[in-house]
Chains A and B, each alone.
Chain A
């Protein structure tokens, strides 16, 4: 461990001594190292997370009292547009891609991603896309069209400023970044595994990244097409979505949700992968039913491509279509159930250590369970006629995306931080962060289910005093306020621990996958020699030569 630490400080000293901070800046902006690109992705996403969080807090302040005039309506409408866009495109996807970028080559024993320069392009395109979307503020205000941007509200007639064009262009550019990342993962995972690592032996996180990438490959192009069409409508007088000239508002919804639904799984599958790495290590058990888990991942990716219209139950489809999309959506609960039971079976009979990664994994399990069940309710088409576009939906998908993706992600960030920096995070701060986040999160999104059931629609900047929604909105806002210090603690923790955290060593968690076989942080070339593996847990085999895994797989 001392060697790694020495290596890092030596490197920094050399770079600084050579020509100062400009050299470091030059190094990071021109890097094609998958680890540095991964770190850039994560840092960028954290900045956007703070921005998106501030937008959320502003909205929650406006909803504190009925008919409150803290914010004007258009400002509020811009805030929810930017909040959604930011969290999905510039926080959720890039942070998962970033973690994947860092870990996938290490986990499969490769020296880098398949296309290192395309990898860099992917990051810079994503960042540039984000900047483009935010540059709309310079045109006098962000777009006020919602992140779903339903036609024809996005047509020139209803959204006159250039903000909507910048929004579409920004997503187009960042979409290129996402697509290249997806292609890169697929080629890397299929083509660059170390000797002995068959598809049945790849670490589970790499497996979920593979299927997330397949979904990216299928879902981003329809979005790109739709964005091009909306730009043509707005700027060159086409009428794809221009209903006053025979265009179809319905077409946008289909194209958007054909992207938008798989997107949900693009955001949650990598979190499943992280959990599937963490639960075994902290329970000291092998992942229960690897093959079923792998098949379930593929099944989720497959089914998710055929259920997009469950976002459109209220558009007046036929009964038959409503029934098909309800049934197909319910099917997703089968593979998801398999995964959940397998995680429980992995814990069963283990020796569970509640260090911070496992704590967040526990948060993931308990919260994702609830989010999944409200998802079943929303899949029931007639129930959806009432709940759709109500606050219940807002509660549900935040519950899934925060309880699932974010808790999973925090578990992963706490788990792999020592690998990236060579130092441990402060466990005390991590525990505080967890409990504040859990309590704040339940208080924020729990009451939203109730206000939705009480008839409160989403995306309203204010509400009437006589509706009985006031108290639920106030608890929600209180919950949001409790979440703030939690995120602040995380940021403080990663900065503080980078300088002051205890040294980690190569394998602080006594884990089993290949990334723990190299130093922390890993050298630029990852591994001194190309490794050869014989099972799913190569480090278990090393640590237990008397009882290696390959006897059982």
Chain B
């Protein structure tokens, strides 16, 4: 539903990389928008009517100088009062009805994974200040790998719906998962398990970020959702599920030794090696990600180097310290990480 074309109008004004809630690409987002436009129309109507009455009173009854003669005093009128109690009550009733409908459309509990359901199940863990994605099941198959900050999901087709169910948890404080064009936000609260679902027919990159204040770097807890064709997505799944690539090249080997010999491994994991930390992002396929520092900077050699050299400079207050590596060590570690594709 697109009352008076307001939705289209708003959608056309914004560039496609935008995060406008009036530019949804998912059934959930669309049903919220159609409700929103109805609400905007109702409230806009009230504004117009009441505003006009207000302006009429102001201009019609304005006097520059009071002549001393009091106007007739009207103490009240029960029928009028009843009328303007009943009118808002009617509007409230309508609003409650449409709210109910949308609520039941948007909030769907997580089902059990079944073979052949084309459904993806991901557990999202909010952390200060990055996102951990534990891929659980796809099409009824167990996945069991972990990645960070960039969510990948398959596109849904008219013939073949592909839903993604997210189980939302927090490892430390409250966070909130918000990709405006895909769905409304849902909080991640420690000690509590929440859920939401995503589904879209439009491939592309969708941006968002944490919406619940979670400390120093709340502003840089960015979200990126890559929606891909099923084939592309399945290729990505295969790659991510494998253990880390082992390259036997002098610099890379030295870099791996430096990495495994330092406290990096207390926080980071690289599957297939001795690094099993769970506090920081899993680095097994770090080069499959487009960005670093939860979406803040492009993932390339130069940025990787300056990030490891001094994370506090790029993301002041973040929980990764600078380790004071020598230039040589830095180059080696970066080379090693670059080999993790």
- List chain A positions with a Cβ less than 8 A from chain B: 72-74, 77, 144, 146, 150, 152-153, 158, 243-244, 246-250, 283-286, 288-292, 314-316, 319, 322-323, 326-327, 330-331, 333-334, 337-338, 340-342, 344-345, 347-354, 362, 365-366, 369-370, 373-374, 376-377, 380-390, 453-464, 466-468, 510, 544, 549, 552-553
Contacts and interface: CB of A to CB of B under 8 A. Distances in A.
A534 to B, nearest CB: 15
Interface string B17-54: 11111100000000110011001101100110011011
Interface residues of B, number: 93
Given A382-B99, A457-B210, A284 B216 contact: no
B274 interface: no
B81 A289 contact: yes
A255 B151 CA distance: 35
A373 B75 contact: no
B66 A353 contact: yes
A459 B32 contact: no
A389 B316 contact: no
Given A243-B190, A376-B39, 5 more contacts: A322-B103, A344-B57, A354-B62, A380-B36, A383-B32
Contacts of A389: 176, 178, 185, 211-213
B20 A454 contact: yes
B81 A158 contact: no
A314 B192 contact: no
A460 B220 CA distance: 8
Interface string B68-110: 0011111111001100110111011001100110111011000
A382 B76 contact: no
B47 A284 contact: no
Contacts of B51: 366, 369
Contacts of B207: 455, 467
Given A290-B76, A352-B62, A463-B219, A385 B32 contact: yes
Nearest to B18: A468
Contacts, number: 271
A240 to B, nearest CB: 12
Interface of B: 10, 14-15, 17-22, 31-32, 35-36, 39-40, 42-43, 46-47, 50-51, 53-54, 57-58, 61-64, 66-67, 70-77, 80-81, 84-85, 87-89, 91-92, 95-96, 99-100, 102-104, 106-107, 128, 168, 172-174, 176, 178, 180, 183-187, 189-192, 194-195, 207-220, 222, 316-317
B189 A250 contact: yes
A466 B189 CA distance: 29
Contacts of B222: 464
A248 B32 CA distance: 30
Nearest to B220: A462
A405 B17 CA distance: 38
B71 A382 contact: no
A322 B81 contact: no
Contacts of B43: 373-374, 376-377
Contacts of A314: 176, 184-187, 211-212
Contacts of A390: 211
Contact of B212 (A150, A333, A468): A150
Contact of B317 (A73, A326, A349, A369): A73
Nearest to A246: B191
Given A337-B84, A344-B54, A457-B178, A466 B17 contact: yes
Contact of B316 (A73, A153, A326, A384): A73
A264 B96 CA distance: 23
